[in-house]
């Protein structure tokens, strides 16, 4: 039963890439700042590979990038409100540095979204009004792809007569253990 539960979780998680408006598409990513405080923000899941590594896109000047330079540990939290399913993935977050992979991923950025990576000022820079954002050329973008490598998945599914909660470890070939909900 536990192995089947994990397989179902993986199928549900990966389905967000093909189903419009799937709630796992937008997840909370938490990193640790220099003062050892957790910092959370919403990110868009772009890809999930066969070994469950996740790809997200960001501006290379964001705080999260500075944070992972000091501490690459991160957590992704996703929730499916209709299925009452919460997934928490712990792991490490790394910038993708392979030029061929960067080029492949950059080609997935839509024309409208590309603008988000071309602001002249860094994300989080104070401005007078939302109209005071200046943009550079497409070729002067600050696109960065990040790879999240999970080493632990924890799931909680609310249901009757018993909620289901389990934890799974990569170092153990994703074998898991039931937990008290």
Q: How far apart are CA 53 and CA 2, in angstroms?
A: 21
pLDDT at position 140 over 90: no
Q: 165 with 178: CB under 8 angstroms?
A: yes
Q: 77 with 27: CB under 8 angstroms?
A: yes
Q: What is the CA radius of gyration of the chain?
A: 18
pLDDT tens sequence across 59-107:
999 999 999 999 999 999 999 999 999 999 999 999 999 999 999 999 9
Q: How far apart are CA 173 and CA 166, in angstroms?
A: 15
Write down the pLDDT at residue 37: 97
Q: Residue 150 is encoded by which pair of tokens?
A: 């999970």
Work out the mean pLDDT of the chain and round it to a whole number.
95
The pTM for the full model equals 0.94
Q: Domain boundaries in the chain? A: 2-178
pLDDT at position 6 over 90: yes
Q: Which CATH class is domain 2-178?
A: mainly beta
Q: How far apart are CA 168 and CA 177, in angstroms?
A: 7
Q: In the structure, what pLDDT confidence band is assigned to residue 139 with cuts at 50, 70 and 90?
A: confident
DSSP 128: S
pLDDT at position 120 over 90: yes
């Amino acid at each position: 039963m536990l192995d089947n539960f994990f397989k179902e979780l993986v199928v549900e998680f990966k389905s967000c890439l093909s189903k419009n408006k799937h709630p796992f598409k937008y997840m909370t990513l938490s990193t640790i700042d220099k003062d050892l405080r957790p910092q959370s923000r919403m990110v868009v899941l772009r890809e999930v590979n066969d070994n469950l590594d996740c790809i997200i896109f960001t501006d290379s000047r964001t705080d999260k990038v500075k944070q992972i330079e000091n501490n690459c540990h991160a957590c992704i939290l996703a929730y499916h409100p209709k299925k009452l399913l919460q997934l928490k993935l712990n792991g490490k977050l790394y910038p993708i540095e392979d030029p061929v992979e960067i080029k492949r991923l950059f080609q997935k950025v839509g024309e409208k979204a590309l603008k988000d990576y071309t602001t002249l000022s860094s994300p989080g820079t104070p401005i007078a009004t939302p109209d005071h954002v200046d943009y550079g050329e497409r070729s002067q973008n600050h696109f960065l792809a990040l790879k999240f490598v999970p080493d632990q998945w924890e799931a909680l599914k609310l249901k009757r007569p018993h909620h289901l909660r389990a934890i799974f470890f990569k170092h153990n070939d994703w074998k898991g253990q039931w937990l008290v909900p």
